[in-house]
Amino acid sequence: MIQELKDNYGHLFENNLLNEINQVGTFKEVPEGAVMINIGEYVKSMPLLISGAIKILREDNDGDELLLYFLEKGDTCAMTLTCCLGQKKSEIKAVAETDAKLMMIPIQKMEEWSGKYKSWRNFVFESYHNRLNEMLETIDSIAFLKMDERLLKYLIEKARVSEDGTIRNTHQEIAYDLHTSRVVISRLLKKLENLGKIELHRNYVTLLKI
């Protein structure tokens, strides 16, 4: 049994299911920055995230991007779930935000386990629920917040999922995630620095404790 599987999913799944996952799943490591799936691609297996963080993005026809949310350990991709079941194309893009470890589950098992294990069903439902709530959070941000508030919220999220609490990105990269321009981000970051909320450096930003 892979120890990290037990550590992260032991409280969720009964032993029989854990053993099955351990048997049929494939352990996988992905390096930071790796594109794990693109819009329009078919999904072949379902990931259970063991460590690290995955960035989920939406893209429009012009290739403009928007960050939707991050997945962390114990999470799975809700999109993948029905993509697998219905053989549908992915509607989102997934990129490793940090180095990450995953357990990949073959799609045939999902349907089988849904009938067999109550804990699996609950996990799947819970995942959907979490993802829907994260989408609502995203909608709240873009619909109700101004760009400076969105930026601060983004920096806090980014710092949370990063290893050391710093945001190791250029202004341009931040601008892509928030679907705005580099100049706007530079302007607002400077404003946040003047307010004493952050510290700016070349290639990274640090959040200051309040």
Residue ranges binding DNA (CB under 7 A): 146-148, 170-172, 179-184, 186-190, 200-203
Q: For residue 147, state whether it binds a copy of itself (rule: CB under 8 A).
A: no
Choose among DNA, a copy of itself, none what residue 107 binds, the Cβ cut-off being 5 to 8 Å by kind.
none
Name which of 50 and 175 has its Cβ closer to DNA: 175
Cβ 62 to DNA, closest distance in Å?
Answer: 11
Instruction: Report the length, in residues, of the chain.
Output: 210
Report the nearest approach of a copy of itself to the CB of residue 138 (Å). 6
Closest contact distance (angstroms) between CB of 48 and a copy of itself is 17
**SS3 at position 62:** coil
Which x/- pattern over 7-36 shows residues binding a copy of itself (rule: CB under 8 A)? ------------------------------
Determine if 78 is a binding residue for a copy of itself (CB under 8 A): yes
CB of 189 to DNA, least distance (A): 6
* Residues near 103 by beta carbon (within 8 Å), at least 6 away in sequence: 2, 5, 21, 25, 26, 27, 28, 47, 48, 50
Q: N- to C-terminal Cα distance for the chain?
A: 43
CA of 60: how far to CAs of 33, 91, 106, 137, 171, in Å? 20, 10, 29, 20, 21
Q: What is the CA radius of gyration of the chain?
A: 18
* Interface with a copy of itself (CB under 8 A), residue from 32, 99, 126, 193: 126
d(CA 198, CA 69): 22
Q: How far apart are CA 17 and CA 179, in angstroms?
A: 41
Report what 24 binds from DNA, a copy of itself, none; CB cut-off 5-8 Å by kind: none
Contact between 114 and a copy of itself by CB under 8 A: the answer reads yes
How many whole angstroms separate alpha carbon 116 and alpha carbon 111?
9
Residue 106 and residue 45 in contact, taking contact as beta carbons nearer than 8 Å? yes
Residue 89 is a binding residue for a copy of itself (CB under 8 A):
no
Point out which residues bind a copy of itself (CB under 8 A).
58, 60, 64, 66, 68, 78-79, 81-82, 85-86, 88, 91-92, 111, 114-115, 118, 121-122, 124-126, 128-129, 131-133, 135-136, 138-140, 142-144, 179
